[in-house]
């Protein structure tokens, strides 16, 4: 019998903080404080302060966070927004939701991040913004992206949904562009017990605009300045997130320890490329993604040994049926088109045991030797 190692284990994390969580939930219920109010304020302030950011606006989920940030910057029909080909559809979907056009750019083969040279090729007179994604928790090398944005008068919206507390040049991601978007989907490094998200910015106007747009275009109860949407962070999720925020730094430390063991244990496996961390960056390992030529065979082998893996993402966005209307070919994005066949995400979560990590490393060696 071999062990069974899940790809994520949300239950193990809950059990490790059960008492605190149950108590908080009880408290919110007993106060019937469900929307807005002190629990939301408390979380927003704690999260902003942890990132060294001026403002945090809690919203319904990470996709809405991107949508709301774009709307707050005045982006809409007639505009273009540049998005990297390898991300979750949320990143590009949020652009389309504003009425703007998604323009895809290829990625760098070392970091899987948006390639600044490709950004340059995609800029037109209609381009309004770039959305770099701190993919897998590895911070984007922001300086070249910010330089391009400055030169061409573009907004930069960081998609930091996978990168809570990641750093670039000593600064937390989420504070490097005009606005940043976080997701607290349960499986993210900081996860709620349902959907939740936030916009983080140092720009007061963007913060106010986002807060109003997310809440029917109002601040006071019936004082609607414009039409918005309903996308609020609810108090139960906020209270849960505040509890978890106190554990986040140590959970990330654990993820980094696991990543270090993988790096060490896999460096001699032929054909296996371990993650390349951005220079001057701090990776928070939402995902630990290796490149392997024989990805499919390795994946099947690991599955047969009880090891669950993931692929993030199996199809680059422009190749999805949802973007057929853009008429792209694989050779429009040679790097992304190739890498989608090579990437494999190994389990990485704070509650993993030494034995589990060693077992996974050993099995990958086994695979490489047969």
Ligand X SMILES: *Cc1c(COP(=O)(O)O)cnc(C)c1O
What is the closest distance, in whole angstroms, from the C-beta atom of residue 90 to ligand X in the complex? 4
Is position 111 an interface residue for ligand X (rule: CB under 6 A)?
A: no
**DSSP annotation of 317:** G
Residues in 183-222 that interact with ligand X by CB under 6 A: 183, 185, 195, 197
Residue 133 C-beta: closest distance to ligand X, Å: 5
**What DSSP letter does each residue of 257-316 carry, written as one string?**
HHHHHHHHHHTTSTTEEPPPPPTTEE---SSEEEEETTHHHHHHHHHHTTB--B-S-SS-
Which of 162, 175, 189, 202 contacts ligand X by CB under 6 A? 162
Stretch that binds ligand X, among 141-149, 156-164, 272-280, 294-302 (CB under 6 A): 156-164
The nearer residue to ligand X, 239 or 287, going by C-beta atoms, is: 287
> Residue count at the site for ligand X (CB under 6 A)?
15
Of the candidate residues 91, 92, 345, 356, the single one contacting ligand X (CB under 6 A): 91
Is residue 336 involved in binding ligand X (CB under 6 A)?
Answer: no
Q: Mark the segment that binds ligand X (CB under 6 A) among 101-109, 157-165, 219-227, 235-243.
A: 157-165
Min dist CB 64 to ligand X, Å, is 7
Least separation in angstroms between CB 248 and ligand X: 16
To ligand X, the closest distance from the beta carbon of 125 in angstroms equals 27
Q: Residue 121: how many CB atoms within 10 A of its CB?
A: 11
Q: Which is nearer to ligand X, 240 or 272 (CB)?
A: 240
- Rule CB under 6 A: is residue 63 a binding residue for ligand X? yes
**By CB under 6 A, residue 165 contacts ligand X:** no
Q: Output 87 or 356, the one with its CB closest to ligand X.
A: 87
First-residue to last-residue Cα distance in the chain: 20
| Nearest residue to ligand X, by Cβ distance, number only | 62
Q: SS3 for 168?
A: strand
**Quick one: which of 81, 85, 88, 142 contacts ligand X (CB under 6 A)?**
88
What is the rounded distance in angstroms from the CA atom of residue 336 to the CA atom of residue 332? 9
Residue closer to ligand X by CB (options 162, 337) is 162
Backbone angles phi, psi at 222, to 5 degrees: -115, 25
CA-CA distances (angstroms) from residue 269 to 80, 112, 266, 361, 366? Answer: 43, 21, 5, 10, 10
Q: What is the DSSP letter of 334?
A: H
Identify the residue among 28, 161, 252, 269 touching ligand X (CB under 6 A): 161
What is the closest distance, in whole angstroms, from the C-beta atom of residue 367 to ligand X in the complex? 28
Sheet holding 179-183, edge to edge: 55-59, 197-201, 179-183, 155-159, 127-131, 80-84, 101-105
Q: Does 90 bind ligand X (CB under 6 A)?
A: yes
Q: Quick one: which segment of 57-65, 123-131, 139-147, 274-282 binds ligand X (CB under 6 A)?
A: 57-65
For residue 214, the Cα-to-chain-centroid distance in whole angstroms is 20
- DSSP label at residue 230: B
Q: Which of 87, 237, 337, 363 binds ligand X (CB under 6 A)?
A: 87
280: left (phi over 0), alpha (psi -120 to 50) or beta: left
Task: List the one residue from 70, 131, 133, 140 that touches ligand X (CB under 6 A).
Answer: 133
Whole-number Å distance between alpha carbons of 367 and 124:
47
Cβ-contact 66, 210 below 8 angstroms: no
Bridge partners (DSSP) of residue 288 are 346
Residue 156 CA to residue 292 CA, distance in Å, equals 32
- Residue closer to ligand X by CB (options 94, 364) is 94
Query: Which residues on adjacent β-strands are paired with residue 307?
Result: 5
Least Cα distance to 249 among 50, 55, 23 occurs for 50
Closest distance to ligand X from the beta carbon of 162 (Å): 5
- Pick the closer one to ligand X by CB: 13 or 356: 13
Q: Which residues bind ligand X (CB under 6 A)?
A: 61-63, 87-88, 90-91, 133, 159, 161-162, 183, 185, 195, 197
């Amino acid at each position: 019998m071999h062990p069974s190692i899940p790809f994520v284990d949300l239950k193990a994390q809950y059990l490790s903080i059960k008492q605190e969580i149950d108590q908080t939930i009880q408290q919110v219920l007993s106060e019937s404080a469900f929307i807005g109010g002190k629990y939301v304020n408390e979380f927003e302030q704690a999260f902003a302060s942890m990132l060294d950011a001026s403002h945090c606006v809690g919203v319904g989920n990470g996709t809405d966070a991107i949508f709301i940030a774009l709307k707050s910057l005045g982006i809409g029909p007639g505009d273009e927004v540049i998005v990297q080909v390898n991300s979750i559809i949320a990143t590009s979907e949020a652009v389309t939701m504003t009425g703007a056009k998604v323009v895809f750019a290829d990625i760098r083969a070392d970091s899987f991040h948006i390639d600044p040279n490709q950004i340059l090729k995609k800029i037109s007179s209609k381009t309004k913004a770039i959305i770099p994604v701190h993919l897998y928790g590895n911070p984007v090398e922001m300086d070249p992206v910010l330089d391009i944005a400055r030169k061409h008068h573009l907004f930069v919206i960081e998609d930091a949904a996978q990168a809570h507390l990641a750093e670039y040049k000593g600064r937390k991601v989420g504070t490097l562009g005009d606005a940043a978007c976080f997701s607290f989907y349960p499986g993210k490094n900081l996860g709620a017990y349902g959907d939740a998200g936030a916009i983080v910015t140092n720009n007061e106007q963007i913060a106010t605009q986002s807060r109003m747009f997310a809440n029917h275009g109002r601040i006071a109860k019936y004082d609607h300045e414009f039409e918005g949407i309903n996308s609020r962070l609810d108090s139960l999720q906020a209270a849960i997130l505040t509890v978890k925020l106190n554990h986040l730094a140590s959970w990330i430390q654990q993820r980094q320890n696991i990543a270090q063991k993988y790096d060490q244990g896999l460096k001699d496996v032929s054909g296996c490329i371990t993650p390349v961390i951005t220079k001057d960056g701090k990776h928070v390992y939402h995902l630990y993604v290796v490149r392997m030529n024989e990805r499919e065979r390795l994946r099947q082998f690991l599955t047969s040994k009880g090891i669950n893996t993931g692929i993030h993402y199996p199809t680059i966005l422009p190749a999805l049926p949802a973007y057929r209307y853009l008429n792209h070919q694989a050779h429009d994005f040679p790097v992304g088109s190739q890498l989608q066949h090579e990437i494999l995400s190994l389990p990485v979560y704070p509650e993993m045991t030494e034995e589990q990590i060693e077992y996974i490393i050993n099995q990958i060696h086994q695979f490489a030797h047969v």
